[in-house]
């Protein structure tokens, strides 16, 4: 979290190997991402990273099923492998009945669940989510955040950029960025979501007022 221009999306793009850092290292599972060639970066993204965007980024000419399969198609996986991966994932996300429809035929919240399935089908080391609820109403936002919470509890690491304190309150840890640096961090621990929400609000208020955080 942080103000516009603080560096949140830049950090996400560097982790995604889309941008290069001017200094320092980005390490993921022992791999220094800043030293990968362009071809190595492309392969690394396909095999280790999942992406969820505010705008869904689904291909309207593909069915929802084929949109989800796309990363595995690019990795030249056999169809039976893709089908076996999709079955449990579609059940978790509640999209079994949407797979053979087009993105244009489903709601925004459903599109985002399809996009999450596409991001997760490669079993990524980390799921990068950039304002994933930004284009959704409060009801669909809550559904998507519950999905993130559920897959996180199953062991999936999720790194989310958000302006929403409600969205951040679902996380286990919240980092606040200011001028490209970590300004503060919070851990939810055994706090309730409402308690953690208030902690986040207090930190954001301090950030805006240039105050020290307890």
pLDDT at residue 133 is higher than 80:
yes
pLDDT of residue 213: 59
Measured between alpha carbons, how far is 37 from 43 in angstroms, rounded to an integer? Answer: 10
105 in a structural domain: yes
3 in a structural domain: no
1 in a structural domain: no
Q: Write the CB contacts of 2 (distance below 8 Å, at least 6 apart in sequence).
A: 8, 176, 177, 178, 183, 207
DSSP state of 163: S
- Closest of 100, 101, 183, 111 to residue 144, by C-alpha: 111
Count each helix (H run) and each strand (E run) in the chain, helices first: 8, 7
| pLDDT tens digits, 168-201 | 999 999 999 988 888 899 999 999 999 999 999 9
Whether the model pTM is above 0.95: no
Question: Which structural domain, as residue segments, surrounds residue 33?
Answer: 8-208
pLDDT of residue 42: 86
Secondary structure E strands in the chain: 27-28, 31-32, 49-53, 126-130, 158-161, 173-178, 181-187
Measured between alpha carbons, how far is 138 from 158 in angstroms, rounded to an integer? Answer: 20
Is there a contact between 64 and 99 (Cβ–Cβ < 8 Å)? Answer: yes
Percent of the chain as helix, strand, coil, to the nearest 5: 50, 15, 35
CATH, residue 161: 3.40.50.300
Measured between alpha carbons, how far is 174 from 188 in angstroms, rounded to an integer? Answer: 8
214 in a structural domain: no
36 in a structural domain: yes
213 in a structural domain: no
Q: Is 174 exposed, middle or buried (0-12, 13-18, 19+ CB in 10 A)?
A: buried
Which residues are 185's β-sheet partners? 175
Measured between alpha carbons, how far is 14 from 159 in angstroms, rounded to an integer? Answer: 13
Q: Residue 214 — pLDDT band, cuts 50, 70, 90?
A: low
Q: Residue 212 — pLDDT band, cuts 50, 70, 90?
A: low
107 in a structural domain: yes
Q: Write the CB contacts of 16 (distance below 8 Å, at least 6 apart in sequence).
A: 45, 49, 51, 128
Report how many domains make up the chain: 1
């Amino acid at each position: 979290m942080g103000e516009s221009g603080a560096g949140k999306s830049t950090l996400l793009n560097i982790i995604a190997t889309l941008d290069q850092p001017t200094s320092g290292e980005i390490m993921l599972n022992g791999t220094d991402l800043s030293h990968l060639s362009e071809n190595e970066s492309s392969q690394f993204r396909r095999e280790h990273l999942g992406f969820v965007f505010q705008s869904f980024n689904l291909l309207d000419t593909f069915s929802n099923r084929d949109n989800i399969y796309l990363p595995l198609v690019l990795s030249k996986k056999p169809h039976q492998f893709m089908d076996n991966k999709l079955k449990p994932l579609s059940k978790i996300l509640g999209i079994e009945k949407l797979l053979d429809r087009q993105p244009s035929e489903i709601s925004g919240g459903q599109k985002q669940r399809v996009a999450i399935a596409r991001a997760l089908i490669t079993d990524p080391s980390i799921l990068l989510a950039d304002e994933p609820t930004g284009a959704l109403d409060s009801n669909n936002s809550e559904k998507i955040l519950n999905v993130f919470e559920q897959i996180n509890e199953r062991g999936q690491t999720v790194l989310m950029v958000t302006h929403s304190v409600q969205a951040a309150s679902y996380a286990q840890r919240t980092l606040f960025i200011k001028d490209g640096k970590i300004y503060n961090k919070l851990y939810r621990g055994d706090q309730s979501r409402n308690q953690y929400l208030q902690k986040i609000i207090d930190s954001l208020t301090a950030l805006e007022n240039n105050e020290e955080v307890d």
